Amino acid sequence: MADDAQRGPGRPRAQGHDERIVDAAVELLERGEEVTVSRVVERSGVSRAAIYRRWPSMTDLVATALDRGRAPHTIPLEGDLLQNVLDAYTTSSYATSSSTTSSYATSSSAARETYSEERFRLRMRLAMTDRKLAQAYWRSHVSRRRAGMVAVLRAGIERGVLRPDIDVDACIDLVNGVFYYQFVVRGVTLDDPEALARCREGIRVAWRGMAAQAG
């Protein structure tokens, strides 16, 4: 620990510190304990200085811990863009990651093995009671996972498939909201065929509203 705390500027970070810090934060969260610097230091064996070099606040560290097991991916831009979106959001063909909704609700079964329903519900609960945490999670994790859908919508505009005046962020929020509603309000998951069908239809409805020929 002391060696890391005395690390000079410009030298590479000690190997494994990031993982140990996040592991400690995840353990605390799953045990229902508050994530504090002292507790993370105790469980990770990493110094306070090393922790703050990586995360400016405990809120940012908690956001990272809640995202453990998630990874962004791209949506193909070749072929039928709508079908690509439907596949990415509602089928298991993207088994290495959750979809761009950044919610457990649209994760494939393989992704759920590393990002459980319990972790998703914990994130939702904490975010609902801590606005700063929700904002930190958005800045650090959710926004980057939207990149795939952003690319799809921009490709649609460039090809003349989608209207040039659409608000890309608002359109993504609209699509993602369909999935959150199933999981948070209706209390179902995408293992439910009826819920999955509603989500597919919701995407199609949103896409028709974005389409160049709409209106």
Helix then strand then coil, % of the chain, to nearest 5 = 65, 0, 35
**Boundaries of domain holding 131:** 81-210
Is residue 187 domain-shared with residue 130, that is, in the same domain? yes
Number of domains in the chain: 2
User: What global pTM score does this model have?
Assistant: 0.71
Is residue 170 domain-shared with residue 125, that is, in the same domain? yes
Is residue 56 domain-shared with residue 96, that is, in the same domain? no
By the 8 A CB rule, do 69 and 112 touch?
no
From first CA to last CA, the distance across the chain in angstroms is 63
51's tokens: 């922790």
Is residue 51 domain-shared with residue 129, that is, in the same domain? no
Return the DSSP state at 161. S
In a domain, 71, yes or no: no
User: Which residue type sits at 204?
Assistant: R
* pLDDT tens digits for range 117-175: 677 778 778 888 889 988 988 888 887 888 899 999 999 999 999 999 999 999 999 99
In a domain, 75, yes or no: no
Whole-number Å distance between alpha carbons of 194 and 15: 47
Residues 6+ apart with CB under 8 A from 71: 96, 97
User: 73 pLDDT band (50/70/90 cuts)?
Assistant: low
